[in-house]
A = this chain, B = another copy of it.
């Protein structure tokens, strides 16, 4: 059974294809009577627009690309939800790509987005992406890009992330204000700008609190989780009174270690940067600086739509974050 097309409807109603098209798209020129006739016929004959044809004709795609380095349980679902909420309200759809944290793959995906003629790109960078040269073709094609979460600041594209430095600062400042002196910071991959900023915030807070700082108080755990065991050895041999953890991912890895060493919940104060779910799995709940994937997704998608509609200069947005303090009383 062939699919009903605009031409079919045109013949059926002895009208011109363009009239059908206009009627279906609520063009003001069309008489309401005609419009209704057309829409009725469309309904009875199960007409469905061929988006492929429409977008081809219109030289755009109604698609927003979301490129993510990986799909994990932290942050990503919320982020996607936020993106989706905004994009669907703009009558567009989300086409999703995963770079598997590979800069080369990311580059291929960007190419593919060009081929798809997407209307915009939301991109969270792969871990080993060190420059944004591969995005130049998007810029040349006039396709707006918003970098989110894992970003590199550049004049060419807007970026949106939380205020990483301040997040770490607030967290560590809280520990300092509790009188904690020996503080261990646990960080993610050292290559990420996100990590560097959080390390800066960490150090700045220590400095501000006049807490003597040595590099031994920071550990960068690369992706694998194998570093966690060296971290365990370190913890075993060195007494800390507080621990700063820069992400939910690390928090989740480190918690079993702390249980094993009986450092949690009793002797070690913990503060994390978190989306606020994992901290409540623990008892007592963990004080954390709260961020939200959903908010970031929403904000980034809104910004992208803004860029799609109005050509405007790139901007760098830092979403503020707030400390969510938990009572550590038993």
A residues neighboring B (CB under 8 Å):
1, 3, 46, 48-53, 55-56, 59, 61, 63, 70-74, 76-78, 80-81, 84, 88, 93-98, 111-112, 114-117, 137, 140-141, 252, 255-256, 259-260, 277-278, 280-283, 285
Contact = CB atoms under 8 A, between A and B. Distances in A.
B84 A96 contact: yes
Contacts of A59: 52
A117 B52 contact: yes
A281 B281 contact: yes
A285 B257 CA distance: 12
B98 A95 contact: no
A93 B95 contact: yes
A52 B95 contact: no
A74 B76 CA distance: 11
Copies in the complex: 2
A104 to B, nearest CB: 14
A206 to B, nearest CB: 29
A281 B283 contact: no
A84 B98 contact: yes
Contacts of A252: 277, 281
Contact of A117 (B51, B76, B84, B93): B51
A86 to B, nearest CB: 12
Contacts of A63: 95
A84 B277 CA distance: 26
A131 B76 CA distance: 31
